[in-house]
Amino acid sequence: MSESYIDPYKYQHSYADELADLVTPIKPTVIYQPHLQVVNHALWEALGLPIQWQDNDTFMQQLFGSESLLTQHSVAQKYGGHQFGHWNPQLGDGRGLLLCEIVDNQGQRQDLHLKGAGPTPYSRHADGRAVLRSTIREYLASEALFHLGIPTSRALCLISSNEPVYREQQEKAAMLIRTAPSHLRFGHFEYFYHDREPGVAADIATPKLQQLMDYTLAYHFPQCVDCQNPHLAMLTQIIADTARLIAHWQVVGFNHGVMNTDNMSIHGITFDYGPYAFFDDFEPHYVCNKSDHQGRYRFSQQPSIGLWNLNALAQAFRPFVTTEDITDALDTFEPILVEHYHHLMLKRFGLTETTDTALAMMTLFMKLLQSPKRDYHISFRQLAGHLDWDSLTLLRNEYVDIGLFDEWLAAFKAEVALQEVDFTTLQSRISLANPHTVLRNHHAQAVIEAAEQGDFSLFHAYLEILKNPFDATTKIDRFAAPPSIGDKGIALSCSS
């Protein structure tokens, strides 16, 4: 078979076909002077997409042509969501379109979703565009988290343009195609649960909710179909996946910023990147979203918000699962999150056993990072690269509270001895668990400013570093260095 052959059956549209009552068919709106600026070649290959589509003119024909495989059945999805704790049924794909679904080289189903596609019926009088700034930030963050081993949607490609859009100021529009197992959000289930005729009991499934549940079980949770209660099994899996995801965030110091239920994926992946941030100094109550005036989505609040959101989602399961079973399922969230958090955090110290003494040692170190606040990522990375305990002990000179450092170090040494880990193995484990480089907002801003002037060289340089976060041998020091005092703790708005 010719390498240029394109199999039309690879591009499926099960959501658009089987849930036609839940979507609006619509094509992307042509953007002014589009350019296929960035391609995620590794992901492109893993998805088995045609290499010839990486030609700019060919790709634009696929995006905007009348009979293209990518967009001939594109749809905007309808959903609702709790935004900052308040129910809003007037949501949906206001600037994004589900293009199609494909099966990747591993046999896994993946959505292709176009962000910045133009107006849809759910745009609420907005232009339906994304700006270059936000697409760059999503591309960088999704790849950074992926290469840190954190579940996430991923960026397939970025399309720049010369179309002006207006936010706080005039900017350039851009598009992003991202992939995910699906784009089903907590808000999908909430909307089709609450969208019922007056007087219909809460434990009765609406026809559309029934359709959505059946589809989700068949395509995304087939392992639950033969369980005694498939819906309970699915809810339990969503709870567990969400708990493990948020544990990952807490370990790496990632603040999502806008954990509305319409930004939460049923697959337990990081989804809908807005004013996110990895904090710089260890700040448990860090708020990266300057629009979050009450600090609802601050870093320390993410676990409890995750559970709050799962409670909101669980309401949609009331027609299928008893209240007692829902409560029991939700009660698993905290122990799963805590167990996973402890496991991941102790890996950063080169330890594998979650003992009481190990947890006490970990608590001492976190206390050490707060007195006064220290750069979170560098402090952990400094535990690597030592030849012996004497070398590691020299770190005490960098801490203000030397007494507390000595107390922590004694506890650390005792735990390492208790778990019978030799120093060389310990150092190897620490190096593999603590990234040399994480995504920092001040670097992202420098990348954006260069790209807005047409220079993407800094974008590519930073991206390559983020794709190898644990490798200290190929680093550019400027990307690993901490920010200046003035650049620390940058907070961003939701404007995109």
List, for residues 362-408, the tens digit of each pLDDT value: 999 999 999 889 999 999 999 999 999 999 999 999 999 999 999 99
Per cent of the chain over pLDDT 70 is 98
Per-residue confidence at 187, pLDDT binned at 50, 70, 90? very high
Coil, strand or helix at 172: strand
Question: How much is the average pLDDT of 18-35?
Answer: 96
- DSSP letter, residue 27: P
489 Rama sector, left if φ>0, alpha if ψ -120 to 50, beta otherwise: left
- Tokens 């690269």 sit at which residue? 385
The one-letter amino acid code at 79 reads: Y
Tell whether the torsion through CA atoms of 484, 271, 259 and 149 is positive or negative: negative
Alpha helices in 78-185 (DSSP H): 132-147
Angle at which helix 457-466 crosses helix 441-452, to 10 degrees, equals 150
Q: Delimit the domains of the chain by residue range.
A: 8-184, 349-433
The dihedral over CA atoms of 113, 115, 118, 119, expressed in degrees to the nearest 10, equals 80
Catalytic site includes residue 214: no
CA separation for the pair 96, 100 (Å, rounded): 12
Q: Cα–chain-centroid distance for residue 210? A: 28
Q: What are phi and psi of 131, to 5 degrees?
A: -100, 160
Per-residue confidence at 66, pLDDT binned at 50, 70, 90? confident
Residue 148, number of CB atoms within 10 A of its CB:
19
Of 493, 482, 472, 494, residue with least CA distance to 442: 482
Question: How much is the average pLDDT of 447-451?
Answer: 96
Is residue 496's pLDDT more than 80?
A: no
CA separation for the pair 328, 181 (Å, rounded): 27
- DSSP letter, residue 315: G
Q: What are phi and psi of 92, to 5 degrees?
A: 155, -175
Cβ-count burial 77-99 (b if 16+ within 10 Å, e if not): bbbbbbeeeeebeebbbbbbbbb
The one-letter amino acid code at 351 reads: L
Asked if 93 contacts 122 with a C-beta cutoff of 8 angstroms, the reply is yes
Is residue 480's pLDDT more than 90?
A: no
The residues pairing with 110 across neighbouring beta strands, listed in sequence order, are: 102
Q: What pLDDT shows up at residue 296?
A: 97
Question: How much is the average pLDDT of 238-256?
Answer: 98
CA separation for the pair 309, 324 (Å, rounded): 18
Q: What pLDDT shows up at residue 491?
A: 78
CA separation for the pair 32, 62 (Å, rounded): 16
- Tokens 């392992």 sit at which residue? 223
- Dig out the tokens for 337 from the structure: 């999150």
Is residue 60's pLDDT more than 70?
A: yes
pLDDT in tens, 153-165: 999 999 999 999 9
DSSP per residue, 365-416: HHHHHBTTB-BHHHHHHTTSS-SSHHHHHGGGGG-S-HHHHHHHHHHHHHHH
Using alpha carbons only, give the angle 379, 383, 386 rounded to the nearest 5 degrees: 140
Asked if 176 contacts 116 with a C-beta cutoff of 8 angstroms, the reply is yes
The one-letter amino acid code at 406 reads: D
Of 438, 453, 444, 451, residue with least CA distance to 492: 444
Q: What pLDDT shows up at residue 476?
A: 64
Q: What pLDDT shows up at residue 2?
A: 41
Asked if 229 contacts 322 with a C-beta cutoff of 8 angstroms, the reply is no
Would you call 164 exposed, middle or buried from its count of C-beta atoms within 10 A (0-12, 13-18, 19+)?
exposed
Residue 453, number of CB atoms within 10 A of its CB:
8
Is residue 326's pLDDT more than 60?
A: yes
Catalytic residue among 93, 262, 280, 375: 262
Question: How much is the average pLDDT of 409-434?
Answer: 97
Is residue 238's pLDDT more than 70?
A: yes
Is residue 475's pLDDT more than 70?
A: no
Alpha-carbon distance values, 373 to 193, 324, 346, 361 (Å):
45, 44, 21, 18
Beta-carbon contacts of residue 453 (< 8 Å; ≥ 6 apart): none
pLDDT in tens, 353-374: 999 999 999 999 999 999 889 9
CA separation for the pair 463, 33 (Å, rounded): 25
Q: What pLDDT shows up at residue 7?
A: 82
Is residue 263's pLDDT more than 90?
A: yes
- Tokens 């030397």 sit at which residue? 402
Of 252, 438, 431, residue with least CA distance to 345: 252
Q: Count helices and strands (H / E) in the chain.
A: 18, 11
Per-residue confidence at 1, pLDDT binned at 50, 70, 90? very low
Per-residue confidence at 40, pLDDT binned at 50, 70, 90? very high
Asked if 368 contacts 405 with a C-beta cutoff of 8 angstroms, the reply is yes
Question: How much is the average pLDDT of 344-358?
Answer: 98
Asked if 287 contacts 298 with a C-beta cutoff of 8 angstroms, the reply is yes
Mean pLDDT of the chain: 94
